[in-house]
């Protein structure tokens, strides 16, 4: 067996999620710096999320058809940088909308294909995946902390330059990684997908996936602006984002034990209820630092335990021939919900204010909890 290229694979995850760490907390802040109102900010942030509904399926089909996954990763990384660099030409709304759509179309092509390459390298060592993926969370944490400090010292005008440098890191890492091909099995049409989708609780689960991402709309779009207007420094805001990701990493490390003790239904129900609490705290009591810290620790539930339990549910609910379609539907609904969340929060932020916008997010999460409690059957731990 060839030696695992641990650091080469890890470097890619580090830079890829460093880019996410530079966009999730600071993209809306940059658009606000350019003078756009809340509605326009929500629309611009929603565009990359909408691309997540489309791009992975197109590039995934191309990867299956050609088998040239690493070439797609490298092409997508280069085109991400080139299309985003168009931001230096103009800063009008229409031009930025085009830049957001183009770069996201290529950016969302990269990770699914790279995951296949990583798992091919890990053949026989699948338990080491978390050791590699951990560097993605480290990249996110480093970026939010460093950029938060940097934007305290320098103008937000340098923000696009920081993103381009991280995108260049993704390109370099993609060319450092050696190729690997997964073992080829027989390709069988998933004609039973719709039938399995009608199994008890499955449709309810997918509705709740969309609701969870809708509830994250104000968080990913306006949290940084919300905290800045409450008087928090950009450096501290970056550290608060990092607290959430650290909590996420810790719960990932514990999820195998949690799912061995509690059913998927109970983990999902707890995740939705804690999400409802988290959004209420962020909307109404974020001026108290201890409350804000507690709310950020709840990211362990609103993303960590939810995502791990959701992946487990999809794997359990579909047969081997339908797994790909089940995961694709999960990604598509997550992207759709995220886009709707960004849009509604953009329109409600000025009209209703932060408290009511986060209250609507809490209501969406609570609605998902009710659906899980009433529509999903209890399963064995």
> Which two tokens mark 1?
């067996």
Distance CA 194, CA 196 (A): 5
Phi-psi region of 35 (alpha: psi -120 to 50; beta: other; left: phi over 0): left
Distance CA 77, CA 110 (A): 7
The pTM of this model reads: 0.81
Distance CA 46, CA 198 (A): 30
Is the sign of the CA dihedral 51, 242, 271, 292 positive or negative? negative
Tell me how far the alpha carbon of residue 52 is from its chain's centroid.
10
Mutual angle of helices 264-284 and 234-261, in 10-degree steps: 160
Residue 186: the pLDDT is 44
pLDDT tens sequence for the chain (381 residues): 457 888 999 999 999 999 999 998 999 999 999 999 999 999 999 999 888 888 877 877 787 678 788 999 999 999 999 999 999 999 999 999 999 999 999 998 788 788 778 878 877 665 566 678 788 888 999 999 999 999 988 889 999 999 999 999 999 999 999 888 766 544 444 456 677 777 778 899 999 999 999 999 999 999 999 999 999 998 999 999 999 999 988 887 888 788 888 998 999 999 999 999 999 999 999 999 999 999 999 999 998 889 888 877 876 777 655 655 676 678 778 888 999 999 999 999 989 999 999 999 999 999 999 999 998 877 654
Locus of tokens 């690997």 = 180
Residue 184: the pLDDT is 54
Locus of tokens 């390459």 = 117
Count CB atoms within 10 A of the CB of residue 35. 8
Tell me how far the alpha carbon of residue 195 is from its chain's centroid.
29
Q: What's the CA dihedral at 317, 323, 326, 329 to 10 degrees?
A: 170
Distance CA 34, CA 155 (A): 11
Nearest-CA neighbor of 105 among 67, 160, 49? 49
Q: What digits encode the pLDDT tens for the residues 12-56?
A: 999 999 999 999 899 999 999 999 999 999 999 999 988 888 887
41 backbone dihedrals φ, ψ, rounded to 5°: -60, -45
Locus of tokens 């909890």 = 369
Answer for the pair 8, 114: CB distance below 8 angstroms, yes or no: no
Numbered ranges of CATH 1.20.1250.20 in the chain? 7-179, 192-380
Distance CA 86, CA 167 (A): 14
Residue 207: the pLDDT is 93
Class of domain 192-380: mainly alpha
Q: What digits encode the pLDDT tens for the residues 88-127?
A: 999 999 999 999 999 999 998 788 788 778 878 877 665 5
Question: What CATH number does the domain located at 7-179 have?
Answer: 1.20.1250.20
Nearest-CA neighbor of 27 among 108, 143, 142? 143
> Which two tokens mark 211?
């609701």
- Tell me the pLDDT of the chain averaged across its residues: 87
- Tell me the helix, strand and coil percentages in the chain, rounded to 5: 80, 0, 20
Distance CA 261, CA 265 (A): 12
Distance CA 147, CA 150 (A): 5
Going from the C-alpha of 306 to that of each of 156, 172, 339, the distances in angstroms are 33, 33, 19
15 backbone dihedrals φ, ψ, rounded to 5°: -75, -35
Residue 381: the pLDDT is 45
Q: What's the CA dihedral at 90, 93, 99, 101 to 10 degrees?
A: -170
Distance CA 259, CA 234 (A): 37
């Amino acid at each position: 067996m060839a030696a695992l290229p641990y650091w080469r694979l890890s470097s890619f995850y580090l830079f890829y999620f460093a880019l996410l760490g530079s966009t999730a907390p600071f993209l809306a802040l940059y658009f606000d710096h350019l003078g756009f109102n809340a509605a326009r900010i929500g629309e611009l942030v929603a565009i990359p999320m909408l691309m997540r509904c489309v791009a992975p399926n197109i590039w995934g089909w191309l990867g299956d058809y050609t088998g040239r996954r690493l070439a797609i990763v490298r092409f997508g990384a280069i085109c991400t940088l080139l299309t985003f660099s168009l931001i230096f030409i103009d800063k009008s709304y229409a031009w930025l909308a085009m830049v957001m759509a183009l770069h996201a179309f290529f950016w969302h092509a990269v990770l699914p294909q790279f995951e296949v390459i990583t798992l091919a390298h890990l053949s026989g060592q699948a338990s080491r995946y978390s050791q590699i993926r951990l560097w993605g969370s480290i990249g996110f944490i480093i970026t939010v902390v460093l950029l938060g400090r940097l934007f305290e010292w320098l103008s937000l005008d340098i923000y696009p330059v920081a993103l381009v440098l991280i995108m260049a890191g993704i390109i370099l890492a993609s060319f450092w990684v050696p190729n690997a091909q997964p073992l080829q099995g027989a390709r069988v049409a998933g004609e039973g997908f719709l039938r399995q989708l009608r199994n008890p609780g499955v449709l309810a689960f997918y509705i709740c996936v969309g609701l969870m991402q809708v509830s994250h709309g104000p968080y990913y779009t306006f949290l940084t602006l919300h905290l800045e207007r409450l008087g928090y420094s950009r450096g501290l805001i970056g550290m608060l984002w990092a607290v959430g990701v650290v909590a996420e990493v810790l719960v990932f490390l514990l999820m195998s034990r949690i799912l061995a003790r509690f059913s998927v239904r109970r983990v999902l129900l707890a995740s939705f209820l804690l999400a409802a609490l988290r959004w209420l705290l962020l909307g109404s009591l974020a001026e108290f630092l201890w409350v804000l810290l507690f709310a950020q620790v709840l990211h362990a539930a609103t993303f960590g335990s939810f995502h791990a339990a959701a992946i487990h549910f999809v794997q359990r609910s579909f047969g081997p021939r339908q797994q790909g379609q089940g995961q694709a539907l999960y990604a598509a609904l997550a992207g759709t919900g995220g886009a709707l969340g960004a849009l509604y929060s953009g329109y409600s932020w000025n009209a209703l204010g932060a408290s009511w916008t986060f209250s609507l997010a809490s209501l969406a999460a609570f609605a998902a909890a009710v659906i899980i409690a009433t529509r999903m059957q209890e399963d064995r731990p």
